[in-house]
A and B are shown apart, each in its own frame.
Chain A
Amino acid sequence: MRGFLLNRLSQSLVLLLIVSVIGFVVLNLIPGGPLAQFGLDPSMTQDDLNRLKEQLGLNRPLWMQYLDWAWRLVQGDWGHSFRDGAPVLDVIGRHLVATLLLMGSSTVIAIAVGTWIGIRGATHRYSVFDYLATVGAMVALSIPTFWFGLVGIYVFSLRLGWLPAGNMYTIGDGSVLNHIHHLIMPSIVLALVHVAIWSRYMRTATLDVISQEFVKTARAKGLSERRILMKHVVGNALLPMITLAGMQLPSVLTGALVTETVFTWPGMGRLFLDSLGYSDYPVVMGLLMFSAILVVLCNLIADIVVAIIDPRIRLS
């Protein structure tokens, strides 16, 4: 077990290294740079811009900037935002809650609805419900998220006036109800794709379990269909989903980014786009590393959990 852990851990570190290098290089490939935001300000002369460039350490060779950044990161210093000068972790922390709220609520929706559709589809295989669910899932995977959001805004905000077109809450009204009111549309939009994915996985997983011997035995023993499902199917099927959850994370983050853009949600996706727009390298790199670490952690935990439950996996 220890060897397995060390192996996985070292692989994860290599992965983070690769992510940071790719991110840093790609980010610096973008022309413009952090000073472009002053490009239209007639009072910022070339001298001023050169001075800022030097103060921000941007006139050094790229490899030196990278090593400096990476060395600080290893020591726990994520750097400071170019924009507001605050420590990167603070900046991320300030936007984390909004994103967690959005991702959390949409994940709850996705898992609840997806699991239900999946199991029902599997137990009522080839029924009309199953067929519709399959088609629906495929269509859901095909709708551009941002467009779905736009249509939602058009219908529910502009036409019907039921739901707000954006923001997390109304200024001066921090009530839970107000938050929920603002949360409905973005979390459904974000959940759509994941309902589709979860339901498909759940269906396959349930089918796998149903066909196994012990379920047949249980059924033969006269246990009710419902109890069999609850006890064996769901329990067993949820296992591979832990792995899925880890791998879903980047796409959930991407989805959150798109959704936050459309609904002006003050979360990490918004922060990411803004920071990219201002070439706020420390924050963008911070967000990349943050999400990469999350992904790696999820995968690691999933690996470990699976390995504990099913020791054969360790060998492969």
Chain B
Amino acid sequence: MTAIVANSRQERWWNSRTAHRFMNHHLALLGMVMIAILTLACVLGPYVLPYDSLYIDLRARFAPPFTGHHYMGTDPLGRDLAARLFMAGRVSLLVGFSAMLLSTLIGTLVGVLAGYRGGWIGTTLMRTVDGFLSFPSIFLVLALAAALKPSPMMITVVIAATSWMEVARIVEAEVRSLREREFVQAGRMLGLSGTHIMFREILPNAVGPIIVAATLTVARAILMEAYISFLGYGIQPPLPSWGNMLNGAQQYLGTAPWLAIIPGAAITIAVTSFNFIGDGLRDALDVRGDHS
């Protein structure tokens, strides 16, 4: 949410010192490991478990965890919660990741354009960024989600449409500070096109902060998806997502608390992991600033 002022660096971000620092960041490593496990479980889980995530069995509804082979219990329609959780993980992680890619793309484009061009284009773009940022983000998300037909694609677009601003700010600040540097001036004198300078010369120098912001955006996007789906505006049943598994769980909080606790824990683990990774990357890449 804040403009992150990055130290401009000439060296490439993937030099061994950076990699070394990242590997020494225990939390980041932990995050990587957890994400790896989670991803693996979501990819393989549905094949290993004895139940289909969509199979309804009304006789087996509300089975608590560890009933027979229902290791995480069943939901109000008697579907296996573990199978649904991993299936949901695929959806939620995919939505989070795609939303990150899309919003980073938009944010980078806007940021580069605004930072390099400056002038009225830059001002207009950055004021628009400010405008988007002064909304309680939930408004835009809910309104857009209500306006569009819900599907994983649409949810991705909605989340991306409301989370590109931070990347834009970061990139804009970075590019603005790089614009007047010698190598850019040199490029200009050599007669290189604006596009070339923007994307080939300046952008690679801003990659560090972008990666950090992108990682944190994944975390944010997963949270967003969860909240939209929790309110019923997001991923539609029978396709499970961590968020829509929580939808309705409040109703059964007294009688079947595992319905609320398990998916929520999954979200927390995934989001925490991405935040850990982001933090590690920030230290490793020596990007100053904070995420919020």
Chain A residues with a Cβ under 8 A of chain B:
11, 14-15, 18-19, 22-23, 26-27, 29-32, 134-135, 138-139, 141-144, 146-147, 150-151, 153-154, 158, 197, 200-201, 204, 244, 247-248, 250-251, 253-254, 257-258, 262, 272, 276, 288, 291-292, 295-296
B271 interface hit (Cβ, 8 Å): yes
| Contact A200-B290, Cβ < 8 Å, known A141-B275, A158-B253 | yes
Number of interface residues of B (CB under 8 A): 46
B131 close to A (CB within 8 Å): yes
User: Is the CB–CB distance between B264 and A288 below 8 Å?
Assistant: no
Q: Is B10's beta carbon under 8 Å from chain A?
A: no
Q: Report how far A120 CA is from B291 CA in the complex, Å.
A: 21
Chain B proximity of A289: nearest CB distance (Å): 10
Residues A142 and B219 in contact in the complex (CB < 8 Å), given A158-B254, A247-B2, A258-B138 = yes
User: Is B44 part of the binding interface, using a Cβ–Cβ cutoff of 8 Å?
Assistant: no
Interchain CB contact under 8 A, B249 and A150: yes
> Number of A-B pairs whose CB atoms are under 8 Å?
132
Smallest CB–CB gap between A312 and chain B, Å? 15
Residue pair A154, B223 in contact (C-beta under 8 Å): no
Q: Give Cα A14–Cα B128 distance, bound, in whole angstroms.
A: 9
Mostly helix, strand, loop or mixed at chain A's interface?
helix
| Contacts A143-B271, A154-B260, A272-B136 supplied; 10 other A-B pairs, CB < 8 Å | A11-B127, A30-B147, A138-B279, A141-B292, A151-B264, A197-B292, A200-B290, A250-B135, A254-B137, A257-B138
Closest to B274 in A: A142
- Interface of B toward A, CB cutoff 8 Å: 1-2, 27, 127-128, 130-140, 142-144, 146-147, 219, 223, 226-227, 230, 246, 249-250, 253-254, 257, 260-261, 264, 267-268, 271-272, 274-276, 279, 290-292
* A141 cross-chain contacts in B, Cβ below 8 A: 275, 291-292
State in angstroms the CA–CA spacing of A32 and B148 once bound together: 12
CA distance in complex: A296, B131 (Å):
10
B260 touches A147 (CB 8 A): yes
On chain B, the residues within 8 Å of A158 by CB distance are 253-254, 257
Question: B1 to A276, Cβ gap below 8 A?
Answer: no
What would be 30 A-B contacts, judged by CB atoms less than 8 Å apart? A11-B127, A14-B127, A19-B135, A23-B139, A26-B147, A138-B27, A138-B279, A139-B268, A142-B271, A142-B272, A143-B268, A144-B226, A146-B246, A147-B268, A150-B260, A151-B261, A154-B254, A158-B257, A197-B290, A204-B290, A247-B1, A247-B2, A250-B134, A250-B136, A251-B292, A253-B136, A272-B136, A276-B142, A291-B134, A291-B135
Cβ-defined partner of B227 (8 Å) among A18, A154, A197, A258: A258
Asked whether A288 and B127 contact (CB < 8 A) given A29-B147, A150-B253, the answer is: no
Q: Which residue of B lies closest to A279 (CB)?
A: B146
- List the A side residues contacting B138 at CB < 8 Å: 254, 257-258
Shortest CB-to-CB span from B101 to chain A, Å, is 21
Please, how many angstroms separate the alpha-carbon atoms of A26 and B27 in the complex?
A: 40
Cβ–Cβ < 8 Å partners of B144 in chain A: 26, 29
- Inter-subunit contact B227/A15 (CB<8 Å): no
A291 surroundings in chain B (CB, below 8 A): 134-136
What B residues does A150 contact at CB under 8 A?
A: 246, 249-250, 253, 260, 264
Instruction: Decide: A151 and B143 in contact? CB cutoff 8 A.
Output: no
Which residue in B128, B143, B267 is a CB contact (below 8 Å) of A276?
A: B143
Partner of A30 from the list B127, B130, B143, B272 (CB cut-off 8 Å) is B143
Does A26 lie within 8 Å of B140, measured CB to CB?
yes
A11 to B130, CA, bound (A): 10
Q: Which of A15, A23, A134, A254 contacts B127 (CB 8 A)?
A: A15
- Residues in B neighbouring A139, C-beta threshold 8 A: 268, 272
